[in-house]
Amino acid sequence: MIDDMLRTPEAIRDAERWTAHNYHPLPVVITSAEGCWLTDVDGRRYLDCLAGYSALNFGHRHPTLIAAAHAQLDRLTLTSRAFVHDQFADFCRELAELCGKDLVLPMNTGAEAVETGIKVARKWGYQVKGVAPGRANIVVAEGNFHGRTTTIVSFSTDADARADFGPYTPGFTVVPYGDLAALTAAIDENTVAVLIEPIQGEQGVVVPPEGYLPGVRRVCTEQDVLFIADEIQSGLGRTGATFACDHEGVVPDMYLLGKALGGGIVPVSAVAADADVLGVLRPGQHGSTFGGNPLACAVATEVVRLLATGEFQRRSAELGDRLHAGLRSLLGRGLVAVRGRGLWAGLDIDPTLMSGREACERLAERGVLAKDTHGATIRLAPPLVITEAEIDHAVAQLAAVLAG
């Protein structure tokens, strides 16, 4: 087909003409999708190995989730929290049960869940721990990614994410990720929380050393500090368990959830914690017009039910072994490192071969979509409904790209 018969170039030109350039997407224009497969405006098909940064853990348009959305669209979509609606209690109860926590506070985006966690931790610090007014501090990790609000980028260590967005919100101490001694040393009487990702997704699927998470749990308990686990990307089946913390038998005081919670249909995020923590919020102190709306709850309740079967966690663990074995076979053949857990992998490409961006562009030409994060690092996070054959296909295409 000659180039000017394709719809893709014009669609990209139009998109660039009318939007802020805060993303640098791969040059594909998607028009429909099902399961693990995407179709672009020119009819080309792609295997989705990003899954919306884990917002699509159940694949595109999972039938159960789509049916729940359709049914809810025909009954009730929004009330605001000024009134209670009939989808609210089931969602909150079932998610609280999945998390093993007393209470849930629903929001919309991941960043809002993080902001909620920060606000709750500070209030808890003043009201329960007895921190002096205005002195609450939260310990975070280098290389973190927790979202894009002004407060959250204040404690980012990524120059692009942070530069020129100040003045920055105070009250955060950054320590190296995976270093328990540094974290312990950073805690003092004003520390209200440790906020970390149990696996750092954006940083390149960085798994902390074994024993780190249990160590964080122990130190937080000893020092009367809340352990907040940002499981927005690592949670809900991605790593082969419901939560990445589960792999080390760790239970944080607060789970921050998002991405896959909305089933790839609507933005749904949540904070889950026990009553002694989330109970510090009283009416008027926090909220969201769309948080916990009926459509979101109807979809997210079905997400929680899919997870309650354990099937997706199992698939992720089993198929993840296959994915990682395939990727490890490329070490020394274009890959210099492979990290991750379950159906989640960070790959470092030999930087003398090509950049991560170039690898992703070449993968796209071969019908596999993935995304680079930093430099020569690519993240793979396919929908958990991917099959063995599809994994083998993705690995084969990567091998071909790396072979030049």
Ligand X SMILES: *Cc1c(COP(=O)(O)O)cnc(C)c1O
Nearer to ligand X, 111 or 300 (CB): 111
Question: 259, 312, 371, 372: which is the annotated catalytic residue?
Answer: 259
Q: Shortest distance, CB of residue 333 to ligand X, whole angstroms?
A: 30
Q: Which residues contact 357 (CB under 8 A, 6 or more apart)?
A: 24, 372
312 is catalytic: no
Q: Shortest distance, CB of residue 64 to ligand X, whole angstroms?
A: 22
Q: Shortest distance, CB of residue 71 to ligand X, whole angstroms?
A: 25
Q: Which residues contact 240 (CB under 8 A, 6 or more apart)?
A: 247, 313, 314, 316, 317, 318, 320, 341, 342, 343
Q: Which residues contact 98 (CB under 8 A, 6 or more apart)?
A: 242, 304, 307, 308
Question: 48, 230, 253, 348: which is the annotated catalytic residue?
Answer: 230
Nearer to ligand X, 59 or 117 (CB): 117
Q: Which residues contact 72 (CB under 8 A, 6 or more apart)?
A: 87, 294, 295, 298, 299
- Asked if 334 and 340 count as a contact pair (C-beta separation under 8 A), the reply is no
Fill in the amino acid letter for 197.
E
Tokens 């024993």 identify what position?
Answer: 211
Q: Shortest distance, CB of residue 65 to ligand X, whole angstroms?
A: 18
Q: Shortest distance, CB of residue 265 to ligand X, whole angstroms?
A: 14
Nearer to ligand X, 4 or 160 (CB): 160
Q: Which long-range contacts (CB under 8 A, 24 or more apart) does 148-157 make?
A: 148/111, 149/111, 149/114, 149/115, 151/115, 151/118, 152/111, 152/114, 152/115
145 is catalytic: yes
Q: Which residues contact 21 (CB under 8 A, 6 or more apart)?
A: none
SS3 42: coil
Q: Under the rule (CB under 6 A), what is the footprint of ligand X?
A: 53, 109-111, 114, 145-147, 197, 201-202, 230, 232-233, 258-259
Burial class (CB in 10 A: 0-12, 13-18, 19+), 160: exposed
Nearer to ligand X, 145 or 177 (CB): 145
129 is catalytic: no
Question: 145, 172, 227, 312: which is the annotated catalytic residue?
Answer: 145
Inter-CA distances, 360 with 77, 192, 343, 356, 379, Å: 38, 41, 18, 6, 10
Q: Shortest distance, CB of residue 260 to ligand X, whole angstroms?
A: 11
Nearer to ligand X, 116 or 397 (CB): 116
When CB distances to ligand X are compared, the closest residue is: 110
Nearer to ligand X, 290 or 354 (CB): 290
Radius of gyration over alpha carbons of the chain, in Å?
Answer: 21
- Asked if 117 and 265 count as a contact pair (C-beta separation under 8 A), the reply is no
Q: Which residues are catalytic?
A: 145, 230, 259
